[in-house]
Amino acid sequence: MKTLALDEETYRKLEEMKKELGVRSYREVIIALIESSKRIEKSMKGAFPQLKPLTKEEEREIEGENE
């Protein structure tokens, strides 16, 4: 068993997801999120599915979080 530290916003979002998914534990929420991220349909990959995924740093740059 491991413990994770979360800020309040992340905790609230996990709590919302727990209710939306109708599950009883945060473990179930996290597993559901991980599994859903692995099941991205081919049609959701865009016009260039052969491109490598963006790194977290590239995502933040695009979203303007590095400013």
pLDDT per residue as tens digits for the range 6-56: 999 999 999 999 999 999 999 999 999 988 877 666 555 566 767 777 788
Both tokens of residue 67?
Answer: 């400013």
Give the 3-state DSSP-derived string for 13-40, with helices as H, strands as E and coil as C.
Answer: HHHHHHHHHCCCCHHHHHHHHHHHHHCC
Q: How many CB atoms lie within 10 A of CB 14?
A: 16
- The per-residue pLDDT for 40 is 64
Residue 49 is assigned to a structural domain of this protein: no
- The per-residue pLDDT for 1 is 87
Which residues constitute the domain of residue 33? 8-41
| Residue 9 host element (H or E) | helix 8-21
- The per-residue pLDDT for 19 is 96
Residue 64 is assigned to a structural domain of this protein: no
Q: How many domains does the chain have?
A: 1
- The per-residue pLDDT for 49 is 67
Residue 37 is assigned to a structural domain of this protein: yes
